[in-house]
Structure 1
Amino acid sequence: MKKILVIEDEATVRSNILEILEFEQFDAVSAENGLIGALWAQEYLPDLVICDVMMPEINGYEVLSALRQNQMTATIPFIFLTAMADYSDRRRAMELGADDYLTKPFTTDELLAAISTRFAKHEVVMQQYNDERQKNEALKQEVQQLQHHVDTNNKLLKQFPREVLNVIPKLNMAIYLLKDLQPGTQRDRCLEVLQQLCKEEIMLLNQMPDLQDVLTPENFNILSQFHLVSSTTE
């Protein structure tokens, strides 16, 4: 049930509006002056404010200005009620952020139409806001994932030289053993053992675009011949 705050100093007008709203199944509450109305709005956060302009304590313009400066009440739809119909009055109301402006006397249909329009437009605005927030949240998650990927890569890059240094002696041993072995069971068995022992290291080195710069051409060719390293680098 939508909660509507009516701020109106004329008791008869205030009572009539409340009766209309309650008949339409709104949760209607009221305040007899601007000061009470502004304080009530900030405490209970209504879905809509209907406010007279000329009132004691503080007027409707001051109420609207106070609500728009508070983050919790800044987006509450606001309809002015006034007997003043001058263009300058309407312009001032809109410049302060009013959503609509009803001139007294107004009919029940005019009041309900203004309320319906405000709620409909507010729903559209809030949907756009929620959609944008979801997009921003999705973008934030993508950025976080990208940052995690970058951080992981940077960590790996820092470790890479040490890993390479650990791999080189194993490859030198493989080259030494394979270099002079003739085709046959002994070489095949030796190759099988080397492939198993050097599997992770070989995968690591094959990710290096400058692998051929790490190994001498002769050593690289020997390892390529026995499929211990890729013959092409990306």
Structure 2
Amino acid sequence: MKILVIEDEKDVRLNILEILASGGFDSLNADNGMTGIQLAKERSPDLILCDIKMPDFDGYNVLEALRQDPSTAMIPFIFLTAKADKADMRQGMNLGADDYLTKPFRRVELLETIAARLKRHSAQLEIQRKVDELQSINSQKNDLLNTITHDLRAPLTTIKVALQLMDAMPDNRRQYIDIALNACDQGDELIQNLLDLYQLESGEALAPPEPLNLRELLRKTTDAFQVRTRDCQQLLKVNLPETLPVIVADGVSLRRILVELLNNACKYTQSGGEICLKVREGLSENQTPLLQFTIANQSEIPTKNLPHIFDKFYRVPGSDRWQKGGTGLGLALVKKLVEQLQGSIIVKSQTGWTTFVIELPYETL
């Protein structure tokens, strides 16, 4: 703890510094008010002891100047004075003094006053921290509610318009049915992702661990995307080792991770581009067995956008090449799922490619 002493009488100042040193405090000192203010702003002490009666710039002026500066306004401030009538005390408290100590004082009196003030200040800071935290949570909840409302209203609006056009132009009925069904899927995806994120953030797994044939899970997952990539004239390359273990894992979460990442890869890769899925076995630094999944696609995310891609509802502007839409929750969900499985995920985007690398520890039967 660092305490600033502002006292114009040298003997008194040195005595206070000696007491502070004996109490285990570091100290700064100034022999006038202006120097004290400068030290307070430069060194940010944990507490200030200040004499009132000083020439040119007294303790009241010092306190007023410090309370007007945001960088020093919250520093606990104790007045030291030979006078202690009620008028002096009231003036000091009105200016924002935290305490008042009358000279001469005993060593124990000074140290106890400092300790009490620091303890109270620490409690005030903790209360303020909690208030700020609650305000931040409330702000996030409001932002989340506004975003959810907007994103749920969008597919409903699309469905309404499609139904109106279907009635006005029955010859195009099939086209408008497809538009409405696609909007229904978007709304359903948003609701499911929100439910899954809530479940994960509550510490619940999507499914219990069970024996999992990894090769079969990968085959079923990639078969569906082989059809989709062919339709979009994309090339999906799957690189698997000759053998893969039967593991004990949450298969629902693992498949969800792969589907979300492959879905993004398809959505953001142009016609003629490549998408690559590679799976490898390995060991962590403490020799725990790992599965490494690498999903890369020919599409680059701007550097300025990379830090935000795991944020809820974040979408890279102008990147949806196929105009498929989305909830903006997919990658936030992937990150939560990876964390739930005690794994890690990193992303890099350069030289025309975006690559996600996931490492998941696993247990075998």
- What is the TM-score with the length of structure 2 in the denominator? 0.46
Does the CA-based 8 Å contact 2:51-2:79 persist in structure 1? yes
User: How many matched pairs?
Assistant: 182
Q: Is 1:57 matched with 2:37?
A: no
Instruction: Name the counterpart of 2:209.
Output: none
Does the CA-based 8 Å contact 2:5-2:50 persist in structure 1? yes
Q: Where do 1:127-206 residues align within 5 Å?
A: 127-165=126-164, 201=181, 204=184
Q: Which has the higher helix share?
A: 1
Q: Distance in 1 between matches of 2:136 and 2:63?
A: 32
Q: Distance in 1 between matches of 2:153 and 2:35?
A: 60
Instruction: Name the counterpart of 1:34.
Output: 33
5+ residue gaps, structure 1, are 174-196, 208-234
Q: Distance in 1 between matches of 2:124 and 2:86?
A: 27
Instruction: Identify if the C-alpha distance between structure 1 residues 202 and 135 changes in structure 2 by more than 3 Å, giving closer, same or farther.
Output: closer
C-alpha displacement at 1:94, in angstroms? Answer: 0.8
Cα RMSD of the aligned pairs, angstroms, is: 2.6
C-alpha displacement at 1:56, in angstroms? Answer: 1.9
Q: Distance in 1 between matches of 2:183 and 2:171?
A: 13
SS for the counterpart of 2:121 is helix
Quick one: which amino acid aligns to residue 201 of structure 1? Answer: L
Instruction: Name the counterpart of 1:185.
Output: none
Q: Which has the higher strand share?
A: 2
Quick one: which amino acid aligns to residue 82 of structure 1? Answer: T
Structure whose alpha-carbon radius of gyration is higher: 1
Instruction: Identify if the C-alpha distance between structure 1 residues 170 and 134 changes in structure 2 by more than 3 Å, giving closer, same or farther.
Output: farther
C-alpha displacement at 1:27, in angstroms? Answer: 1.3
Does the CA-based 8 Å contact 1:35-1:58 persist in structure 2? yes
Question: What's the CA shift string for 1:100-120, capped at 9, x where partnerless?
Answer: 111110000110011001001
Instruction: Name the counterpart of 2:67.
Output: 68
Which stretch of the first structure deviates more once superposed, 150-159 or 29-38? 150-159
SS for the counterpart of 2:49 is strand
Q: Distance in 1 between matches of 2:183 and 2:77?
A: 66
Question: What's the CA shift string for 1:2-45, capped at 9, x where partnerless?
Answer: 11000000101100111111122211010000111011112211
SS for the counterpart of 2:110 is helix
Q: Distance in 2 between matches of 1:30 and 1:14?
A: 8
Quick one: which amino acid aligns to residue 163 of structure 1? Answer: A
Quick one: which amino acid aligns to residue 20 of structure 1? Answer: I
Q: Distance in 1 between matches of 2:183 and 2:84?
A: 81
5+ residue gaps, structure 2, are 188-365
SS for the counterpart of 1:9 is coil
C-alpha displacement at 1:203, in angstroms? Answer: 8.9
Quick one: which amino acid aligns to residue 112 of structure 2? Answer: A
Does the CA-based 8 Å contact 1:6-1:49 persist in structure 2? yes
Question: What's the CA shift string for 1:123-158, capped at 9, x where partnerless?
Answer: 110010000011011111101100101221333343
SS for the counterpart of 1:51 is strand
Does the CA-based 8 Å contact 1:53-1:59 persist in structure 2? yes
Identity score, percent: 41
Q: Distance in 2 between matches of 1:164 and 1:29?
A: 76
Question: What's the CA shift string for 1:170-214, capped at 9, x where partnerless?
Answer: 9978xxxxxxxxxxxxxxxxxxxxxxx97x739949x9xxxxxxx
Which stretch of the first structure deviates more once superposed, 62-71 or 151-160? 151-160
- What is the TM-score with the length of structure 1 in the denominator? 0.71
C-alpha displacement at 1:165, in angstroms? Answer: 5.0
Instruction: Name the counterpart of 2:234.
Output: none
SS for the counterpart of 1:84 is coil
Q: Distance in 2 between matches of 1:7 and 1:128?
A: 29
Does the CA-based 8 Å contact 1:64-1:98 persist in structure 2? yes
SS for the counterpart of 2:57 is coil
Q: Distance in 1 between matches of 2:183 and 2:121?
A: 58
Does the CA-based 8 Å contact 1:167-1:201 persist in structure 2? no
Instruction: Identify if the C-alpha distance between structure 1 residues 96 and 172 changes in structure 2 by more than 3 Å, giving closer, same or farther.
Output: closer
